[in-house]
Amino acid sequence: MRTATTSSETTIQRTPEEVFAFVTTPLNWVGTHPVTAEVKGDADSAADIGARWIEVIRAPGETIGQDTHWLATTAAPGHTWVIETDQLAFPGVRCQIVYTFVARDGGTYFRRDMSVLVPDDAEIDPDVVDALLAGVSDSSIHDQYLANVKAKLEMPR
């Protein structure tokens, strides 16, 4: 099995509950996450355990997006949120994203850990797998997402 991981972190001057509510509402990803082109399904409130929705992911420079079906597997408001898919770009490619929220210095330490696993028997061109895993390992898009969340939540009300 081939894997790739990436982590990003920031501190946001809002409570863990406020950051959690924003991040766990999939519709908020549109315009915030650099590769989220659209979100479909029941996605206009915080996604609790068992919630399902579709994120249309469109990589920079691409014109066609990929539907990714997400499932919320852990939801501890203000603390932890975990989402998973078993078809990140290709059937059988698993992805888990763990979001962590910790009260710190009057704000929230916010961390996002993403892991992608490609099975050895996946029927995907090895060069495509290499590109996918390299893209996941490059934290710049993920760092930009956290910076965008921070900017949106810290805007004067």
pLDDT per residue over 134-154, tens digit each? 888 889 999 999 999 999 999
Q: What is the SS3 assignment for 152?
A: helix
Q: Is the dihedral of CA 144, 140, 114, 107 positive or negative?
A: negative
Of 115, 108, 83, the C-alpha closest to 9 is: 108
Contact 116, 88 (CB under 8 A): yes
C-alpha 137 chain-centroid distance: 13
Lowest mean pLDDT among 102-111, 125-134, 140-149: 125-134
- Measured in Å, how far apart are the chain's first and last C-alpha atoms? 47
pLDDT at 15 (0 to 100): 97
In this predicted structure, what is the pLDDT of residue 146?
98
pTM for this prediction? 0.94
What mean pLDDT do residues 100-107 have?
96
Mean pLDDT confidence for 122-139:
88
Between 123 and 21, the higher pLDDT residue: 21
Residue type, 83: I
Q: What is the pLDDT of residue 56?
A: 96
Q: Could you give the CA distance from residue 2 to residue 130 in angstroms, rounded to a whole number? A: 9
Mean pLDDT along residues 91-99: 96
Closest CA to 14 of 140, 101, 132: 101
Q: Mean pLDDT, to the nearest integer, of 57-64? A: 84
